[in-house]
Amino acid sequence: MSEKPQDIKAIPSGNSLWKEGMGRFMHNKLAIFGSVFLFILVLLCVLAPLIAPYSYETQNLSYGSEPPGSSHIMGTDPLGRDLFTRILYGGRVSFSVGLCATAVSVLIGVIWGSFAGWFGGKIDSIMMRMVDIAYAFPFTIFVIILMVFFERSMLLLFAAIGAVEWLTMARIVRAQVMAIKHHEFIDAARGLGLSTTRIIFRHILPNITGPVIIYSTLTIPAVMLLEAFLSFLGLGVQPPASSWGILIREGAETMEEYPWLLVFPGLALSLTLFSLNFIGDALRDALDPRSSRE
Partner 1 sequence: MISTPFLHVKNLTVSYKKGKIVFTAVKNVSLTLEQGKTLGLVGESGCGKTTLGRSILQFHKSDSGQVLLQGNDLSAMNTDSLNRYRPLMQMIFQNPYRSLNPRMTVLDILSEPIRIKERISQKNCIQKVSELMLKTGLDPFMMRKFPHEFSGGQRQRIAIARALAANPLLVIADEPVSSLDVSVQAQILNLLREIHEKMNLSMIFISHDLSVVRYISDDIAVMYQGKIVEKGPCDRLFSNPLHPYTKTLLSAIPVADPSKSFYTKVDIDNEFIPEETENGCLYSNRCPFIMDICKEAEPALETVDNNSNHECACHLINSGS
The residues binding partner 1 (CB under 8 A) are 1-8, 10-17, 183-185, 187-194, 203, 206-207, 289, 292-293
Closest distance to partner 1 from the beta carbon of 206 (Å): 4
Separation of alpha carbons 237 and 106, rounded Å: 22
Residue 60: exposure state from Cβ atoms within 10 A (0-12, 13-18, ≥19): middle
DSSP letter string, 200-261: IIIIIHHHHHHHHHHHHHHHHHHHHHHHHHHHHHT-SSPTTS--HHHHHHHHHHTTTT-THH
Separation of alpha carbons 113 and 265, rounded Å: 36
For 118, list phi and psi in degrees, rounded to 5.
-70, -45
Q: Which residue, 13 or 62, is less far from partner 1 as judged by CB?
A: 13
Q: Rounded to 5 degrees, what angle do the CA atoms 10, 13, 17 make?
A: 170
Closest distance to partner 1 from the beta carbon of 198 (Å): 10
CB-based contacts of 250, cutoff 8 Å, min separation 6: 77, 261
Q: Which residue, 4 or 141, is less far from partner 1 as judged by CB?
A: 4
Closest distance to partner 1 from the beta carbon of 125 (Å): 14
Residue 97: exposure state from Cβ atoms within 10 A (0-12, 13-18, ≥19): buried
Q: Which residue, 32 or 194, is less far from partner 1 as judged by CB?
A: 194
Q: Which residue, 3 or 151, is less far from partner 1 as judged by CB?
A: 3
Closest distance to partner 1 from the beta carbon of 189 (Å): 8
Closest distance to partner 1 from the beta carbon of 86 (Å): 44
Q: 82 in helix, strand or coil?
A: strand
Q: Which residue, 186 or 261, is less far from partner 1 as judged by CB?
A: 186
Closest distance to partner 1 from the beta carbon of 11 (Å): 5
Q: Which residue, 8 or 50, is less far from partner 1 as judged by CB?
A: 8
